[in-house]
Amino acid sequence: MATDAFFLSSLAAFFLLLRLTAATGRSQERCGFPAIYNFGDSNSDTGAISATLSEILPPNGESFFGKPAGRNCDGRLIIDFAAENLGLPYLSPYLDSVGANFRHGANFATGGSSIRPGGFSPFDLSIQISQFIQFKARTIALYNQLSPDRTMPPFKSGLPRPEDFSKALYTFDIGQNDIGYGLQHGTDDQVQASFPDILNKFSDAVELLYKEGARFFWVHNTGPFGCLPYNIIYYSLKPNNLDRNGCVIPQNELSKEFNRQLKEKVSWLRTKLSQAVFTYVDVYSAKYSVINDAKNLGFVDPSTFCCGSYYGYHIDCGKKAVVHGTVYGNPCDHPASHISWDGIHYSQAANQWIANRIFTGSFSEPPVPIWGSCRDSSNVRS
């Protein structure tokens, strides 16, 4: 049933893409991005935290890679599907020194990261941007040293070409941990009051990338925080504070307000950075759509998850515990039937459904597909 639902949803996405292409007067011409440089948290971390701080264990990765692949997921993330869509290899994490290939980009996202310093991870967005700037400078210096006339690449693979930095797509998926950390240490009102400062730091990061030559930006807003099973379980239930899908309304309202201000900030950046092209992607709506229509899409109750345990005993995905003869932490048999993989992160099946939607441009402003997001937004905005 889930397979049929995915086929129908993919078919619908294809026809929607045709309509969007006609509406914008664009052909099937692709931008041809030579690389992706990604900044974010665990929603797009392809192995940084696993390589540096805390190894990600089985059964993570089981549905696609057959083993842990540095992702908090049973398989691929949205950033992986983005690479596939653009005809590029999966991104190597910048912090992983073993087997990394940066020819077509690099991933600076790390699990637990936030925009503002002082959250769950030491690798906040400003650190990620500093890492990129150093990576670019050292890459260009090494490239010139090994290939002074630039007629031949210094290696068949491994190093990006200097000219590709200005042609690459720069993607962002970060902000969820700013909300999560804030809620652990303050009230809803205090969290909301922090948004202007957080988003000023986001714009500072983008402006630094712009000064480094970045021109094409694909910006995800944050998902429905109150729909994560982890948050539903640990939320102190109050009357009328859950919506019809069991999501925590006040937490989702914070996500919506964050996204409203993020959208305004992106609009401001469009005006200030005249040569940049921004695509603002409403991931919140795409994720809430799959949650709202879970049953029809072949998923089980979206408040459940596949790996780990938060019921009575907190067991992280990949670990097990026996308490009074009961085993906690065994993964489910069918990850593809779940929207949530581990209570915090989405399953590969859900990521694929969301990716099929957002890459068409149907959740974007302007409404361009990811492979067409190098267009000047003023030419395609209705």
Beta bridge partners of 105: 36
What pLDDT sits at residue 155?
58
Strand order in the sheet with 216-220: 105-107, 36-40, 169-173, 216-220, 277-281, 364-365
pLDDT of amino acid 29: 83
Decide: 136 and 183 in contact? Cβ < 8 Å: no
Residue 292's pLDDT is what? 98
Beta bridge partners of 106: 37
pLDDT beneath 50: ranges in the chain: 1-3, 5-8, 13-27, 156, 378-382
What pLDDT does 146 receive?
78
Say what the pLDDT of residue 93 is: 98
Torsion, Cα of 29, 31, 33, 39 (10° steps): -120
Active site residues: 42, 342, 345
Report pLDDT for 41.
98
- Cα 169 from Cα 187, distance rounded (Å): 36
What gap in Å lies between CA 352 and CA 78, rounded to an integer? 7
Which pLDDT score is estimated for 99?
Answer: 86
Distance CA 79, CA 174 (A): 12
pLDDT value at position 186? 95
